[in-house]
Amino acid sequence: MKRIHPEDPRVTAHALGELPEREAAEVERAALVNPAVQAAMDEARSLAELIRAGYRTESHELGEARREAIRRAGRRPAPENLVSLDRSRKWRRPAAVTAAAAALVACAVWMMQKIPVGDDGLTAERERVQREELRKQILLAAAPRPDRVGPGRAPSPAAPRSSLYELEPGIPSEVMDEEYLALRKLLKADPDAFVNRVKEVARTAALPSLANLPPLTDNPFVPSKEEARSTVPIVSGNASYTLVERFVRTEKKLPPKNGVRIEELINHVTYEDAGEADLNGINLGAELVHCPWDPGAILMGVLLRNGSEVPITRAAILQVEVKPDHIRSYRLLGYAGAAGPDAHVNSVPQGLDPDKSNFVLYQLQPLDHEVFQKHRVVARVGLRLDHEHPRGLIVPVTSPPRDWVNASNNLQTAVVLGAWGMMLRESPYRGKLNPRLLEQLARDARNGAGEEDLGRREALQLVLDSLPYIPDEDNL
């Protein structure tokens, strides 16, 4: 079997549950040794779930008259027209996952257009819209698994499947089989044109529910005298980064602001540094820097990296405790929608896997400007792995904060991605942040990133590429 790489169509097929057991196991083995393959699988699952959510409530009703017309048109193909399909054949094109399903498109839609239908009150415009929606539905459906068909052998019953779309009911399986075989010929006649058409429909598919995402409220500042301790999230996803990238690169516009999660932008990047404290390969560190968009504030970055061989479980507790004598209030960047300092804890689906990191940003409001000049312990970060083993890590966080140019590239990158998310979300806490300042910060972070860290450099470049779409309110 050929080596599996992140762009291999089998990676996407595995994420959508479309691979046989043997091939799925090989992809999983490849993901264990290649983080890029694992990342590609995670992104495919995230995008699939996003599209499922976008179309879960959509209706593609054809109308009973048209359904009945399609049923009448269904016919069983003649034996001489049947083609034996070899289940072991491997497609080598990047769009293999969608191409098989797309083979239903042209003739299925052609059938709908040609079948005479009685006057059911549908206008021509409504019919056009219905056909267009069904076209997208079929194009983006999961690929069917064709069975061998031969003389004296009936096709086996279709297994239940989970797909981005469920095909419209009422269309006879015989019609689908005929159109599948017919469009296999179209694929063979001009593969490039066929694949490009599939990609075009997938790229331009509307996701109407994105505009109706529930509003998410950024976390407010918490007075330290009322609550000095905050539980730090141990893990976050990165699906939001994939969504933003799609809008910027493909749609050439900004994503819906409620689809942007700051923590998922920050943690799209891997943070490799070991940190200040170590416990059996688990590293913890903290760093302060002057807040670029609020001169009177400090940004605190907390980096947890699991370099051990076992996951950090949900039982672990990571907390920040600020000193009320020096810090007036604080707020957690990202994790929008949390009702309080610890509201996000129960929503964490899993712990931190080996060789993974999670970076968390806090914005601190000092009680006075003394902390900008003198050495003070302004906070402590502590990690306890579980209730049975109280031993853990404690990292004191000391002032004065670093200037921007002296901050680590880890902190610079996390701050840029966090600030980018605030701009995209139109956060009320963005202060003096504008596209020009964000550009300067992003260029500094990109210039400080290692040449070998392509993922980090690509993320910072995406920030720069999105700036033309972000309005500069100061220049309006």
Tens-digit pLDDT profile for residues 255-298: 998 889 999 999 999 998 766 788 888 999 999 999 999 999 99
Residue after which a domain boundary falls, among 156, 182, 208:
208
Q: Would you place residue 427 in the very low, low, confident or very high pLDDT band (cuts 50, 70, 90)?
A: very high
> How far is it, in rounded angstroms, from Cα 69 to Cα 249?
42
Structure tokens at 272: 């490799």
Residue 164 reports pLDDT greater than 70: no
Dump strand ranges (E) for 307-428. Answer: 317-322, 327-332, 356-366, 376-384, 392-399
Range of 15-29, 80-94, 345-359 with top mean pLDDT: 15-29
> So what's the pLDDT on residue 277?
84
Residue-level pLDDT at 31? 82
Q: At 446, which CATH number?
A: 2.60.40.1230
The proportion of the chain whose per-residue pLDDT surpasses 70, expressed as a percent, equals 63
Note the pLDDT tens digit of each residue in 136-159: 555 555 444 344 344 444 444 443
What's residue 86's pLDDT?
40
Q: Are 434 and 474 in contact (CB under 8 A)?
A: yes
Q: Among candidates 131, 166, 202, 129, which has minimal Cα distance to 52?
A: 166
Better-scored residue on pLDDT, 312 or 173: 312
Average pLDDT (377-402) is 86
All residues at 6 or more sequence positions from 460 whose CB lies less than 8 Å from its CB, including other chains = 413, 416, 442, 445, 446, 449
Q: Decide: 401 and 374 in contact? Cβ < 8 Å.
A: no
pLDDT of residue 106: 43
- Does some domain include residue 138? yes
Per-residue pLDDT at 422: 96
State mean pLDDT over 71-78.
49
Name which of 12-21, 58-67, 211-220, 350-359 the model is least confident about: 58-67
Residue 23 vs residue 412, higher pLDDT: 412
Mean pLDDT for all residues in the chain: 75
Containing 24, the helix (H) or strand (E) segment is helix 21-33
Asked whether residue 334 is assigned to any structural domain, the reply reads yes
pLDDT at 4: 79
Provide the number of structural domains found in the chain: 2
* CA atoms of 158 and 149, how far apart (whole Å): 13
Q: How many residues does the chain have?
A: 476
Q: Give the per-residue pLDDT at 128.
A: 58
Predicted pLDDT at 126: 59
Do 301 and 388 fall into the same domain? yes
300: β partners: 288, 362
Domain end, chosen from 158, 174, 208, is at 208
Check whether residue 160 and residue 287 sit in a common domain: no
SS (H, E, C) 112-139: HHHCCCCCCCCCHHHHHHHHHHHHHHHH
Stronger pLDDT, 133 or 374, i.e. the higher one = 374
Of 208, 242, 275, which one is at a domain's C-terminal end?
A: 208
246 and 382, same domain (yes or no): yes
Residue scoring higher pLDDT (119 or 177): 177
Residue type at position 396: P
Q: What does the block give as tokens for 302?
A: 């907390």
- Note whether 446 and 322 are same-domain residues: yes
Looking at per-residue confidence, does 189 or 337 come out higher?
189
- Give me the pLDDT at residue 433, please: 95
Please tell me which residue, 284 or 20, carries the higher pLDDT value. Answer: 284
CA distances from 412 to 134, 174, 401, 404 (A): 46, 59, 13, 7
Contacts by residues 383-392 (CB-CB < 8 Å, ≥ 24 positions apart): 383/279, 383/282, 383/284, 383/304, 383/316, 383/317, 383/318, 384/316, 384/317, 385/279, 385/282, 385/312, 385/313, 385/315, 385/316, 386/313, 386/315, 386/316, 387/315, 391/279, 392/279
Percentage of the chain with pLDDT > 90? 36
Between CA 234 and CA 314 the distance in angstroms is 8
**What is the pLDDT, as a whole number, of residue 450?**
86
Q: Does residue 156 share a domain with residue 97?
A: yes
174 and 248 share one domain = no
* 110-114, 217-221, 401-405: least confident range: 110-114
Query: Both 273 and 308 in a single domain?
Result: yes
| 168 close to 62: Cβ distance less than 8 angstroms | yes
Let me know whether 337 and 388 are in one domain.
yes
Q: What is the domain range of residue 181? A: 57-208
Mapped onto helix, strand or coil, the DSSP state of residue 278 is: strand
The predicted structure's pLDDT at residue 124: 62
CA distance 306 to 310: 8
Q: What is the pLDDT of residues 296-340, one digit of tens each?
A: 999 999 999 998 888 888 788 899 999 999 999 999 999 886 544
Q: Is a pLDDT exceeding 50 seen at residue 219?
A: yes
Pick the most confident of 28-42, 338-352, 454-468: 454-468
